[in-house]
Amino acid sequence: EIIKPGTMYRDLGAKIQDYAESKGFKLATAFAGHGVGKLFHGPPTIPHHKKNKAVGIMKKGHIFTVEPMLVAGTRGKEKMWPDDWTAVAITGQRSAQFEHTFLVTDTGFEVLTARPGDPTDRMPPFDAKRYQC
């Protein structure tokens, strides 16, 4: 409901944080989404937390990612492993990161990273069986 023309990018962070905390998680604030255009990791930067300083307003045709790192427990602080790729919770608690890419449309958004058969006009439903190895 928040991804649509006219929404300030900084407002998305508060929604993400509120939702994560309502489910008992904290956010690692060092990670952010990004615009996708001529550069894959381009502007704008999309923080996933409240009180951020993201600039810009969503417009039709904008493409960007949302990729929060969720941390179980009381602190959302993270650290990087020596491979400069793997991020873990500094507390040792379980954590997970996911990414979706969105296209802003006339009236809302399309999920560009939806799996075949999943809806593209809303976040895909979570089905734990789908992700079992």
Per-residue pLDDT of the chain (133 residues; tens, 9 = 90+): 889 999 999 999 999 999 888 888 888 888 899 999 887 788 889 999 998 888 899 999 999 999 898 888 766 678 888 998 888 888 888 888 888 999 999 999 999 988 777 767 776 666 666 655 5
Residues whose CB falls within 8 Å of the CB of residue 111, separated by 6 or more in sequence, listed in order: 100, 101, 102, 118, 119, 120, 121, 122, 123, 124
Q: Under a CB-based contact definition with an 8 Å cutoff, are residues 97 and 49 in contact?
A: no
The DSSP output letter for 41 is: S
> Does the reported pTM lie above 0.85?
no
The DSSP output letter for 124 is: P
Q: What is the CA radius of gyration of the chain?
A: 15
Amino acid at residue number 59: K
How many angstroms separate the CA atoms of 120 and 113, rounded? 8
